[in-house]
Structure 1
Amino acid sequence: MSTDRLAKLTQAQRDRLAFIELRLRFIDEFRRQDLVTRFGIQAAAATRDIAQYKEMAPRNMEYDTKGKVYVRASWFRPIFDFSAERVLTWLSQGYGDGEPIRWKGAVAHEGTSLPGNIDLEILSVLTRAIHQGAAVEVAYRALSSGLTTREIVPFALADGGVRWHVRAFDRRSGEFRDFALGRLADARIVPGAVADHERPDQDIQWNRITELELVPHPANVQHPDTIEAEYGMDGGALKVRARAAMTGYLLRRWNVDCTEDHSLKGGEHHLWLRNRQALYGVTNLVLAPGYGEPSKEW
């Protein structure tokens, strides 16, 4: 696909064509109404955009007359070059779907994140499986067992603050688990029905909500009002609701001291978990600073 041809289009046109491709690549389908709703255009304009994308990438999509929906073709090849970070932002937050151009920021800024090795084709298999409610065979690199092949039933992406995961039922262990996207080496959708016990409504840790009370660290913070102002605390505490499956990631990301007697020393521990009892039954507390539960590695 020549970049010169894309360059001749207006920015608005490129944004809409990129949106079509994102839907096809990561959701497996799109409808004309998706364009109408997302960009506030008339149906006739959406039809022209679809025709233009088909002209530029004739082998990327087919029309399902029964479902009245455009679907990703088996020989799909992307014409836009999106970064993994951009795609994950779009999938999780639903904005920023425009053409991938590196814009200069309005003010100077830098980041500190490590470059994760996320394969977008593998990611697209997972997101399409989530949309379809299907199982996936993956090649996965675990710290304890190395490279293995297993079948999982994915249902959500999860941002742990340090790396992205896919939440899924693991048919090998018979449990719901998190799989780091950067450790996936291959993936393909597996035909066949998904059992009731593999569906997300059976994931207790995902569906349970924990209510955490975070306060300035009693020992490490000399001026607690500084922390109260920084986090917008009400009455000296910040109340946070999180899925149990995500709680360990949250506590680790913010270096929350989870000891009973707020005994962790160090300037990185600005917060202390006041209601430690809220963690009862949460399974990923090996990540919580100072909680002291044994690790369960896979």
Structure 2
Amino acid sequence: MHNTDIKLDLQLRFRLIEIIAQWEGRLTTNHLCQAFGIGRQQASKDINHYLKAFARGGLEYDRSLKGYKPTDQFRPQFCQGHAHEYLQLLDRHDDLGGVLSFLSLKLGGTEVLDVPSRHVDPQVVRTLVQAAREGLAVEVHYDSLSSVAPADDPTRLIHPHTLVFNGVRWHVRAWCEKNQAFRDFVISRFRGPASLDDSRPRIRKADDREWQQSVTCTLIPNPRLSQRQKEVIARDNGMDLDTLSLPLTVPKALLPYYLKRMDVAHPYNPLLEDFYQQVVVKTQA
């Protein structure tokens, strides 16, 4: 693991170098400049410092990519190499609280409950990210729960456009050649290696109607709770305390993830106690 004698700001920059290189497969000075507000000269100096002192052959410059990519010798020293670190970085890069969690400081009197890290292949993620960035297709094996893999286990051809983290696991939104529709794929169910395919017609994010279409619903405390209970639930969930409600407008494709993330009982189950269905979607009168 890393040397604790290194200044805190430099540890953060080295950590970013490792996470971007591992999960995106292309590191440039722009990553450091944009993340930390430093100049290109300082960013280049930091990368060279990391290469000389810690890389040990784990990063190499690729002229076609115009950036550094990981080699087979890459071993992270300033992060754990888990997918959630990259996802957290994407989710909170502009949030000060995210900078603190990005460093993974252990503060006295606090504890953060992390679910077990799901296995996600860095090579698969790098390929998905590159494909989404360049508008390419990806050929990869996928273990679907809805179908039984045939004996020859053919690959799946998808056109990814966005990675989505629902707070528990990663998904990728992509056009599926097999189903001829946009689908959500659980990234931990891909089995590598994944390969790029530039021979297919490009399918754009703009073609994904459910992604482009916004839907609005209103969240409220379960009407069957007492008034006091409803006020407590409203305060817990950031609802307007006068109307005891929270309007939510999101892309249609993401609505199920938002509802699950906020522990919304949808659809409502009349056989389950109301106390365990504290937040529901308001039905139209």
Smaller-chain TM-score bracket: 0.7 to 0.9
Distance in 1 (CA, whole Å) between partners of 2:212 and 2:252 is 8
SS in 1 for 2:276: coil
Partner of 1:39: 36
Q: Aligned pair 1:248/2:256, yes or no?
A: yes
Partner of 1:284: none
Determine the C-alpha separation between the residues in 1 that align with 2:84 and 2:164.
13
CA gap of 1:43–1:182, structure 2 versus 1, over 3 A, is: closer
Q: Secondary structure at the match of 1:37?
A: helix
Between 47-56 and 98-107, report the one with greater CA deviation: 98-107
Query: Structure 1 residues 18, 117: closer, same or farther in 2, change over 3 A?
Result: same
Question: Are positions 1:179 and 2:185 aligned together?
Answer: yes
TM-score if structure 1 supplies the norm length? 0.76
Question: Mind listing any 5+ residue stretches in structure 1 that lack a counterpart?
Answer: 278-298
State the alpha-carbon separation in 1 of the partners of residues 272 and 39 from structure 2. 60
Distance 2:192 2:84 in 1: 19
Asked whether 1:226 is paired with 2:232, we answer yes
Q: Tell me, what secondary structure is at the counterpart of 1:30?
A: coil
Distance apart, 1:50 and its partner CA: 2.4
Alpha-carbon displacement from aligned partner over 1:76-109 (angstroms, at most 9, x marks no partner) = 7243332222121113332657998653234332
Q: Hey, what's the Cα distance between the residues in 2 that align with 1:228 and 1:98?
A: 28
Deviation at 1:185, TM superposition (A): 1.6
Rounded Cα–Cα distance in structure 2 between residues aligned with 1:48 and 1:176: 43
Q: Is the 8 A contact 2:173 2:185 kept in 1?
A: yes
Shift of 1:176: 0.6
TM-score, length of structure 2 as denominator length: 0.79
- Give 1:152-167 correspondences, 5 Å limit: 152-167=158-173
What is the aligned partner in structure 1 of residue 81 from structure 2? 82
Count residues in correspondence. 269
Q: CA deviation at 1:175?
A: 0.9
> Structure 2: which 5+ runs fail to align?
none
Distance 2:34 2:266 in 1: 45
Give the secondary structure class of the aligned counterpart of 1:116. Answer: coil
Contact 1:30–1:71 (CA under 8 A) maintained in structure 2 = yes
Cα distance in 2 between the residues matched to 1:97 and 1:29: 22
Q: Is the 8 A contact 1:27 1:131 kept in 2?
A: no
Q: What SS is found at the alignment partner of 2:188?
A: helix
Superimposed CA distance per residue, residues 42-95 of structure 1 (whole angstroms, 9 cap, x where no aligned partner) = 44322222222333434622153x88x324266572433322221211133326
Distance 1:228 1:99 in 2: 27
Tell me if structure 1 keeps the 8 A contact 2:84–2:117.
no
Distance in 2 between residues matched to 1:240 and 1:40, nearest whole Å: 33
Counterpart-to-counterpart distance in 1, 2:39 and 2:30: 9
Asked whether 1:51 is paired with 2:48, we answer yes
1:236 to 241, 244, 266: 244
Q: 1:160 to 1:98 in 2, by over 3 A?
A: closer
Please state if 1:150 is matched with 2:149. no
1:113-144 alpha-carbon deviations (Å, 9 max, x no partner) = 34422233322222232223222111111113
Q: Name the CA distance, whole Å, in 2 between partners of 1:53 and 1:136.
A: 32
CA apart distance, 1:243 = 1.5
- 1:203 alignment counterpart: 208
What amino acid is the match of 1:83?
Answer: H
Quote how far apart the aligned CAs of 1:167 are: 0.9
The CA distance in 1 between the partners of 2:130 and 2:170, in whole Å, is: 17
